[in-house]
Amino acid sequence: MRVIDPVPLRSDVLAAFFDLIGPDRAAEVRAAAARIVERLDGGTLWHVNSTARGGGVAEMLHLLVPLYRALGVSCRWAVVDGDDRFFDVTKKLGNSAYGSTDPGDRLDAGAVDGYLAHLDDEAGWFAELLGANDVLLPHDHQTAGLVPPLAAKVSAVHWRCHVGVDASTEGSEAAWAVMAPLLDDADGVVFSVAHHVPAELADHHFAVIPPVIWPYAPKNRPLADDAVRDLLDRCGLGPGPVPPYVVADGPRDPGVPLVAQVSRWDRLKDMHGVLMGIAGSASDAHLALVGPDPAAIPDDVDQARWFATCLEARRALPAPVRRRISLVCLPMDDLDDNAHLVNAVQRTADVVVQKSLAEGFGLTVTEAMWKARPVVGSAVGGISAQIDHGRNGLLLSDPHDLAGFADLVTGLTGDAVDGVALGTRAHEDVRRRYLPDGDVLAIAGLLAEEDRT
């Protein structure tokens, strides 16, 4: 277990955020923070997850922890450490929670016992840092096993879940058979999407709090035109030489539309399906599949395998099709630099896609919407809550329908659909619903609810 200290939030940035949301919302968030401070009574609000880099939860915590501190709330962040065996178990547990019925994702009793033993050891170290008035907010399946050994050490535990499945499967039921009993001592559970609350937790007190983005983060802040050009070159999507971490047959033709998906190299993000759908279409758009260096995400041991799947599929394509598909593996040694690269790709893309097979929420969708990009997303998980089909984006009803996916994308790149209007409405929806003042108000309400249950 490690304690992470994100970069502090500057007072001028907080002031800019208050200007962005307006005086009424600014007053509400300050009052909510004051209620949290009163509830903690000298204690600390702890977030706990399994990685400090890579993935939506880590990105969100790099925002939320400094924001809460700037608002006067004692807030800290701890990360669970583990070896490949631990993260192999948690990957299988997460895949199952997303509905996977792949035999390779099944967990035997020994694997579950190892997962619990490791978290029990982690909890022993972490307990030394905790006070009786502290509140824990552990995130996702990697932390569920911390609840039993730590619940009695603090004033409350609210476990947050960002994964889930739209319809229960044998795999998801197996995952919840492991996790639900671990949450008996939790004061509450928090889901990103209401319909992801499983039947196994139907009698538990739960809340729905969507993830949020920070407008001033390197991934979301405005970029000057010359900066975008330089960053695109570094992604292999400009006129310059293709860097070694990009798989491409040469510079992108700037005269054709750019379609991009930014996500992990993960079965459920279906980068391979995106590749095959665009490759099989009549579109002349250039596709950029943008993900992290597969070796740089310690809590996801499948990245290299799924990147290799995309690499082999691309190699098998005819040369004219292959030339309009780039695989971009962004370096992860400098997180701000990585975020600027993603920012430039999303801002430049004529269409941003997120063709997930399952999704907890989909922060990349929120990010693209904030940049006023037209988004094509699968109608799964939180994506279906974010996108109102035809108003602020387009939804693919069946994420396995490659032809239907290609048709939606081609409608935007061919101007059959007004992408500018979709993007404009998308930006305003994010400003209204998915900025971080909403998280502060929701946590204040969550802690206040404890007094009424």
pLDDT confidence band for 301 (50 / 70 / 90): low
Query: pLDDT per residue over 90-136, tens digit each?
Result: 999 999 999 889 998 998 999 999 999 999 999 999 999 999 999 99
In the structure encoding, which two tokens stand for residue 283, read together?
Answer: 């579109």
Q: What is the mean pLDDT of residues 200-210?
A: 92
What Rg, from alpha-carbon coordinates, does the chain have? 22
What pLDDT is attached to residue 297? 66
Instruction: Enumerate the H helices of 41-108 as residue ranges.
Output: 56-70, 84-97
Q: Between these two residues, 11 and 453, which has the higher pLDDT value?
A: 11
pLDDT at 47: 98
Token pair 């008035």 is found at 133
- pLDDT per residue as tens digits for the range 243-296: 999 999 999 999 999 999 999 998 889 999 999 999 999 889 999 999 999 877
Considering the chain, what is the average pLDDT of its residues? 94
Average pLDDT over residues 156-182: 94
Torsion over CA: 332, 336, 337, 340 (sign): positive
- CA separation for the pair 235, 78 (Å, rounded): 32
Please state at what angle helix 225-234 crosses helix 335-348, rounded to 10 degrees: 110
* Least-confidence region, from 17-31, 121-135, 300-314, 418-432: 300-314
Helices 271-279 and 303-315: crossing angle, nearest 10°? 10
Degrees, nearest 5: CA angle 337-340-345: 130
Domains along the sequence of the chain with CATH:
2-212+435-452 (3.40.50.2000), 225-433 (3.40.50.2000)
**Single pTM value for the model:** 0.88
Please report, for residues 57, 77, 121, 154, the alpha-carbon distance to residue 46 in angstroms, rounded to integers and kept in the order given.
14, 6, 18, 10
136: nearest Cα among 250, 47, 35: 47
Q: What is the pLDDT of residue 299?
A: 58
Task: Judge contact between 239 and 286, C-beta under 8 A.
Answer: no
For residue 364, the Cα-to-chain-centroid distance in whole angstroms is 7
What is the DSSP pairing of strand 246-247 with strand 325-330?
A: antiparallel
